[in-house]
Amino acid sequence: MASLTYGKYLRLKELLACQAPESAKAGRPAHDELLFIVTHQAYELWFKQCLHELDAVIAIVGADFVHERDVGRALHYLERVIRIQGVLLDQIDILETMTPLDFLDFRNLLTPSSGFQSAQFRSLENRLGLERTQRLRYNEAEYEAALDASDRRRVGAAEREPSLFDVVEAWLARMPFVRSPEFDFWREYRANVTRMLDEDRETIERKAQLPAAARRAQLDELERTRETFEAVFDPVKYERLRAARQRRLSYPAFLAALMIMLYRDEPILQGPFRLLTALVEIDENLSLWRYRHALMVHRMIGTKIGTGGSSGQDYLRRTVEAHRVFLDFFNLSTYLIPRSMLPRLPAEVREQLGFRWNA
Amino acid sequence: MASLTYGKYLRLKELLACQAPESAKAGRPAHDELLFIVTHQAYELWFKQCLHELDAVIAIVGADFVHERDVGRALHYLERVIRIQGVLLDQIDILETMTPLDFLDFRNLLTPSSGFQSAQFRSLENRLGLERTQRLRYNEAEYEAALDASDRRRVGAAEREPSLFDVVEAWLARMPFVRSPEFDFWREYRANVTRMLDEDRETIERKAQLPAAARRAQLDELERTRETFEAVFDPVKYERLRAARQRRLSYPAFLAALMIMLYRDEPILQGPFRLLTALVEIDENLSLWRYRHALMVHRMIGTKIGTGGSSGQDYLRRTVEAHRVFLDFFNLSTYLIPRSMLPRLPAEVREQLGFRWNA
Amino acid sequence: MASLTYGKYLRLKELLACQAPESAKAGRPAHDELLFIVTHQAYELWFKQCLHELDAVIAIVGADFVHERDVGRALHYLERVIRIQGVLLDQIDILETMTPLDFLDFRNLLTPSSGFQSAQFRSLENRLGLERTQRLRYNEAEYEAALDASDRRRVGAAEREPSLFDVVEAWLARMPFVRSPEFDFWREYRANVTRMLDEDRETIERKAQLPAAARRAQLDELERTRETFEAVFDPVKYERLRAARQRRLSYPAFLAALMIMLYRDEPILQGPFRLLTALVEIDENLSLWRYRHALMVHRMIGTKIGTGGSSGQDYLRRTVEAHRVFLDFFNLSTYLIPRSMLPRLPAEVREQLGFRWNA
Amino acid sequence: MASLTYGKYLRLKELLACQAPESAKAGRPAHDELLFIVTHQAYELWFKQCLHELDAVIAIVGADFVHERDVGRALHYLERVIRIQGVLLDQIDILETMTPLDFLDFRNLLTPSSGFQSAQFRSLENRLGLERTQRLRYNEAEYEAALDASDRRRVGAAEREPSLFDVVEAWLARMPFVRSPEFDFWREYRANVTRMLDEDRETIERKAQLPAAARRAQLDELERTRETFEAVFDPVKYERLRAARQRRLSYPAFLAALMIMLYRDEPILQGPFRLLTALVEIDENLSLWRYRHALMVHRMIGTKIGTGGSSGQDYLRRTVEAHRVFLDFFNLSTYLIPRSMLPRLPAEVREQLGFRWNA
């Protein structure tokens, strides 16, 4: 048997035969078309890798019982996705070395193909947890209209299965320490929030030289903050936010996430804290990539329509905010109070959150 | 005389005495406040450098006569600004290692100071060419309301002097090759545009299986493209776009910029092409930084108000698109036609665009 | 009392008065000198921040008892240092936009000051754990010869106090799980290593077509691997490596580090594993920065001597490898065996390595 | 005929079928092997792109007559290669998220394949201009020993054809302005160098408090600098440096390159200056990548031998400096003198270096 070589292992013969410029077929080779192809192929390779990692994370976090051992692995895979996103961003810099005029040399030959047809990118969005109802319609069509039958099946499957958002939400919702029989954390938290806001009110009222209008504005602001906090303590108010699509997490999951933010130094919460942070960064990076992509398309084709018939950059720009998945974890900061005002956890609770070995 | 040392040269004693955490003064030192200070100080150092570069570029391009020798230098300084912007972006990654809860440890002590009070950042915007009428109002006040008297004077001066946008526009407007007595470039360009669009129309009409509605949509799109091109050939239509604030460049400057894009390989246009490209990248990077900044603020303080009293992240997010300066150069791509359809420059014009030495 | 402003908080007036170009004083201002100053000042600001973080980490890990809660914080600070190093690297790209000829415009005015006089950089090296005996001599002088008296005191203090290397080593050395009364891990490990190497030997001997010389080479290599592994099991052999300066960690610390690498998924080892990984990355980044710095100096001044009289780039290049601190953690990979051959930890040991809460 | 889709254009079906993990075939799938494959495939895609760009640059610069128009294009392609190198560097960060233990899960299955078998990487080195005599031998064999027959042919062809170094050298050597009948630039340059060094000597001799030994050292240094400069003026001395492999460029090419560095602001030299700068950056980035790669291999497999049987990281580390191609352009800085001492070009020479249009 022939021994394994680098080229055979990586199937380089096949891989390097996949670049087939249309401009060459049309008899007028455009130097930059290879760049266009290679960049997009590099994207698709990395998308495959990201899907591989997300699948693994979903399997881990979606299990009935998530051991701490596994949280470490899930986190590790998410951090890898973050690194990959760094390269995805930089690849736009490479593609932008193609100028608009150079793109015109072969752009028409690509009609009607379009980046909207990337089944892996759609799957990625679905695996992360982008909801169908949340998706902007593109040329008044559902997103899978652009796909062929087999891609549609694949993307549809990715949509039906539990997403990363789903499994994280469920995992949070069943965290055991959020409600403890011996210690009503949230009652104490509420008391401290109230005390903090009352002190703020006094401060405002004491400011002698504050013009009346400014004082009123500040007091109004304070009352809005108070109402915002109400959602933490009152499930009914929280559900109202959800109904208005201002929040997506279930109430128990939201409480667990908030508690993780507040007591992230406790040994058992360090992993979950890092995991939530990783989700925030993935969301941030994806948004940045979307925005960067929209800028590039604008720069490349101006205000004309894209190769796929969409009014490209405009649609892309609107997805930047519309297609975000883990927004709730950004919003958690709204509900934080200073460490100095945090309820002190009773010894028995702290011990629960620690390691056996250190006990 | 004592010889120069590294420390004396860089005034390290003074420089490293400028970090004075409020939390230490308040008797409860917060570990992360130094990071907050150092990051902002690093920003201000780089802002100073960027202002230094922009001033030099404005002086060069704003001169009565801009020699090619100087275009090279101006370009060099702009490319330096682009590199600095790369670090400005990465510094957000550093600051984000401060978590929302850590920020709360000293955030209240900073009230009512605010990043909106950075006089250098406002000056930078003004030197680039951000217009007062374009600026979003923040808490219903003009942007300099947040500044103290001396900063206001300084920023005001930066606003009154010609900006980078102004001098580039004037430099473009007086480029000699755009209208040539012996060769009516734009008449030929228009003929080719018309031919191109007529061919597109035929293609659409020939598509046998195209549903009627789709055909109509495509033909409508085509007519909109035709109208868009009209602005190139008809100053009246172009001025209409300007009046609607869809374009900012004067008509002659716009034509010169378009011609630079189209014939960028001609020796004498290589420098100008690179210069316009640099402006596009500066605009892109600034937008990215603004968006990245808005995301960080959201992540850091949720939907609460900022330390300066603004509804922070929301305002910041809206400036991303509202405060762009060099948008016209992005839009130029709208008017490009494929190289194969470009009017061929007559020999005498090409020679004008070449080097004496090569002649 | 005047309220706090952004400018007052950041001491911008003082900070932005620290840039005093020598070329301006000499009456022939060089445009690029500001860049030279600002870049170096930005470095010094970040060095201050890194020292702040390292001090905190050393205090945490150097405590008599390191709670898991604290490992999380120490790790967080180290990861911040890693992010900062990313910017330190990119700042070289900015400085390199100054060309050699531009540097010559003011280079002579800086004599005899030199980057070798950065007390903070020397302190950083000392706090990380660079040893005096390890330092290359520069112009035949000890490294602090270039410093003035007060800097020398400061750097000396940083050298005498326990370094990050020291406290990490001590923390590793007293980890409780490395030797367990009920389970002789290392005996099992040795058995598996032996089995693995014996199998490798058989494989080599079975290869029919292997030329005799190649076979001998491979078998020799195998025996060297066997000897290498001996250092794990035999403290005497390990100490021999230390005496030859091929290893620096104490034997117990080395064993603990190896065990952390092998069982990093166990909940209680996830933090320590991440901490060791962070040290490896800090070492890697510092080496990269050193190499990048040497390249820049070469490019900037060719093979001439530096402003401080050193034969600059050559010395710098040799420090890249000579001044590494956490090399032992790179070398750990030498002693790993595949997971499939790892001794399975008995239930009671695993439980010790887990969380109470999950039990 | 079916219309073009994104998937068909990019041959995604074929591309995404090229990942065939050995661990899956062996019946014990290792999660991280896909990362290993995808990263290497992304490298190979970008290598293909770099070869495409280098081929174009070599064709342009290697032509009998290089028009300024073409210098712009060549530069553009080289700058693209620089951007790609940025991503090549970052991809190491991604691969390093695979830990040594994870690599062990499938490392043995890859024997004896090795990165040394990358024909495209070898071709890249050859196209840049790495010489056979310069290459370190690896396991005492020529570099192509690791390749199979067809790769060997391909790499050999890349070695025999003129490299980027070759065509740049020839292009420099025939630059017309270096020797001008009406103006003996180099005589003036030599006079100024002499004056500069004489002044330096006086300065040293005037320093009253300088100890005798230090004075002698400084004077010795000065004489060495004088000798170094002699190579500029004396072809025989220059050839001696070449014979000692301290320089590679031919003497005329060296003089042209030096002149480009000195008068880079002249319009006609701006392009060539940027081109030489791009070569320096490509060399710098490749060296960085080699060093980064060596660090990763060390971290991944310790001091064991690589999958291909080489003593991996050690060999890699030595190539960092041994395999550099454009070192001569780094060394040019050795011969620069301050702008204030530069011979002023006569009007007729300056005009030659300018644009016709500006005349």
Residues on chain C touching B43 (C-beta within 8 angstroms): none
DSSP C181: T
Write the CB contacts of B169 (distance below 8 Å, at least 6 apart in sequence).
Answer: B249, B250, B253
pLDDT band (50, 70, 90) for residue A308: very low
Whole-number Å distance between alpha carbons of A225 and A202? 15
Give the residue from D1, D89, D13 showing the smallest Cα distance to D290: D89
C-alpha C36/C-alpha D252 separation (Å) is 33
Structure tokens, A31? 């130097």
Q: Encoding tokens for residue B57?
A: 């570029």
Query: Does residue C7 carry a pLDDT above 90?
Result: yes
Looking at A204-213, C239-248, D156-165, which range is the least confident one? A204-213
Encoded amino acid at B51, one letter: L
Structure tokens at D346: 């006569």
Q: What is the DSSP letter of B158?
A: H
- pLDDT digits over D272-290, tens only? 999 999 999 999 999 999 9
DSSP string computed for C135-170: SPPBTTB-GGGGS-HHHHHHHHHHHHS--HHHHHHH
Beta strand extents in chain C (DSSP E only): none
Predicted confidence band at B305 (pLDDT cuts at 50, 70, 90)? Answer: low
Amino acid B2: pLDDT: 66
State which of A45-59, A225-239, B308-322, D190-204 shows the largest mean pLDDT.
Answer: A45-59
Gap from C157 CA to chain D (nearest CA, Å): 30
Are C301 and D333 in contact, with CB atoms under 8 Å apart?
Answer: yes
Q: Tokens representing C5?
A: 């402003």
pLDDT digits 0-9 by tens, A248-259: 999 999 999 999
Name the least confident of A174-183, B282-291, C235-244, D199-208. Answer: A174-183
- What span, in angstroms and rounded, lies between the C-alpha atoms of B35 and B39? 6
Categorize the per-residue pLDDT at A355 as very low, low, confident or very high, splitting at 50, 70 and 90: low
Other residues' Cβ atoms within 10 Å of the Cβ of residue C53: 23
**Do residue D110 and residue A9 have CB atoms under 8 angstroms apart?**
yes
SS3 D305: coil
Which sign, positive or negative, has the C-alpha torsion D84, D87, D89, D91? negative
Place of tokens 């320490």: A177
Asked if B140 and B152 touch (Cβ cutoff 8 Å), the reply is no
Q: How far apart are alpha carbons D351 and D359 in whole angstroms?
A: 8
Six-digit token string for B287: 């937008």
Q: Mean pLDDT across the stretch B206-218? A: 83
DSSP-assigned letter for residue B282 = H
Verify cis geometry, omega within 30 degrees of 0, for the bond prior to C346. no
List, for residues B85-112, the tens digit of each pLDDT value. 999 999 999 999 999 999 999 998 998 8
Average of per-residue pLDDT values in chain D: 91
Nearest-CA distance A69 → chain B (Å): 25
The amino acid that residue B246 corresponds to is: Q
- Residue D180 per-residue DSSP state: B
Beta bridge partners of B138: B141
Q: Which two tokens stand for residue C22?
A: 């020598």
At residue B332, what is the residue type? L
User: Could you give the CA distance from residue C68 to residue C66 in angstroms, rounded to a whole number?
Assistant: 6
Q: How many CB atoms lie within 10 A of CB A107?
A: 22
Q: Give the C-alpha separation, B271 to B252, whole Å.
A: 19
Q: Quick one: pLDDT at residue D355?
A: 57
Q: How far is B188 from chain A (nearest CA, A)?
A: 18
* Half-sphere CA count of B174, side-chain side, radius 13 A: 11
> Does B358 contact D68 at a Cβ distance shorter than 8 Å?
yes
Element spanning C255, H or E: helix C251-262
The predicted pLDDT at position D348 comes to 79
Q: Which of D163, D88, D92, D158 is nearest to D119 (CA)?
A: D158
CA D213 to chain centre: 40
Give the Cα separation of C120 and C46 in Å (integer). 10
Q: Report the C-alpha gap between B304 and A193 in whole angstroms.
A: 14
Cα A100 from Cα B333, distance rounded (Å): 6
B164 SS3 class: helix
pLDDT of res. A358? 36
| Whether B354 contacts D68, CB under 8 Å | yes
Phi/psi for A180 (5° steps) reads -120, 135
Q: Band the pLDDT of C359: cuts 50, 70, 90.
A: very low
C344 three-state secondary structure: coil
Nearest CA to B271 out of D72, D354, D279, D280 is that of D72
The mean pLDDT value of chain A amounts to 91
In this prediction, residue B307 carries a pLDDT of 46
Q: In chain D, which residues have their Cβ closer than 8 Å to the Cβ of B353? A: 357
pLDDT more than 90, % of chain A: 70
Average pLDDT score over residue span A62-73: 91
Q: A271 vs C270: CB contact, 8 Å cut-off?
A: yes
Contacts of A190 (CB under 8 A, 6+ apart): A229, A232, A233
d(CA C353, CA C272): 12
Q: Give C358's pLDDT tier (boundaries 50, 70, 90).
A: very low
Take residue D11 and report the two structure tokens written for it: 């041959």
Q: What residues form DSSP beta bridges with B141?
A: B138
Yes or no: say if B232 and B337 are a contact pair by the CB < 8 Å rule. no
Rounded to the nearest angstrom, the minimum Cα separation between D238 and chain C is 15
The C-alpha atoms of residue D25 and residue D46 are separated, in whole angstroms, by: 28
Check pLDDT > 90 for residue B68: no
Structure tokens at A263: 């007591």
| Torsion angle (degrees, nearest 10) of CA D308, D309, D313, D315 | -100
pLDDT, one tens digit per residue, over A193-246 is 999 999 989 988 888 777 888 888 888 888 988 998 999 999 999 999 999 999
Residue with tokens 């290692």: B97
Q: What percent of chain C has pLDDT over 70?
A: 96
Q: How far apart (Å, rounded) are the C-alpha atoms in residues B30 and B101?
A: 11
What gap in Å lies between CA A41 and CA D12, rounded to an integer?
8
C-alpha B338/C-alpha A304 separation (Å) is 14
For residue A119, give the amino acid letter.
A
Q: What is the helix (H) or strand (E) element at residue C55, kind and residue range?
A: helix C33-61
- Do B259 and B177 meet the contact criterion of CB atoms below 8 Å apart? yes
Question: Which token pair is D271?
Answer: 């392009």
Q: Are the CB atoms for D84 and D289 separated by under 8 Å?
A: no
Report yes or no: D96 and D297 within 8 Å, Cβ to Cβ. no
CA D57 to CA D70: how far, in whole Å? 9
- Tell me the C-alpha distance between D153 and D160, whole Å: 11
> Which has more confidence, C304 or B55?
B55
pLDDT, tens digit, 9 for 90 and up, residues C227-241? 989 999 999 999 999
Which chain A residue is nearest to residue D79, measuring alpha carbons?
Answer: A97
> What distance in Å separates the CA atoms of residue A253 and residue A172, rounded to the nearest whole number?
5
Give the lowest-confidence range in A46-50, B42-46, C149-153, C174-178.
C174-178
Both tokens assigned to D270: 């701006």
| Cβ-based contacts of A291 with chain B (< 8 Å) | 287-288, 291, 320
- Say if residue C310's pLDDT is above 60: no
Q: Where are the beta strands (DSSP E) in D94-165?
A: none
Residue B295 near chain C (CB below 8 Å): no
> In 10 A of CB D182, how many CB atoms?
7
User: Whole-angstrom Cα distance, residue C102 to residue B260?
Assistant: 30
Are the Cβ atoms of C9 and B49 closer than 8 angstroms? no
Q: Report A:72-111 residues touching B (Cβ under 8 A).
A: 99-101, 104-105, 108
Identify the residue with better confidence: A349 or C325.
C325
Query: Does B140 score more than 80 pLDDT?
Result: no
CB < 8 Å to D284, chain C: 295, 299
- With a cut of 50, say whether residue A314 has pLDDT above it: yes
Q: Which residues of C touch D304 (CB under 8 A)?
A: 225, 228, 333-334
Nearest Cα to B318, choosing from B335, B283, B293, B301? B293
Name C133's Cβ contacts closer than 8 Å, sequence gap at least 6.
none
Our CA-based measurement puts residue A296 at a distance from the nearest CA of chain B, in whole angstroms, of: 9
Residue C356 has pLDDT above 50, yes or no: no
Instruction: Give every CB contact of residue D152 below 8 A, 6+ residues apart in sequence.
Output: D144
Query: Pick the residue with more confidence: D346 or B31?
Result: B31
Phi/psi at D141 (5° precision): -120, 155
Q: What is the ipTM of this complex?
A: 0.94
Distances (CA, A) of B246 to A176, A300, B234, B243, C88: 57, 18, 16, 8, 41
Q: Does C357 touch chain A (CB under 8 A)?
A: yes
Decide if A288 touches B, using CB distance below 8 A.
yes
C-alpha to C-alpha distance for D70 and D76, rounded to whole angstroms: 10
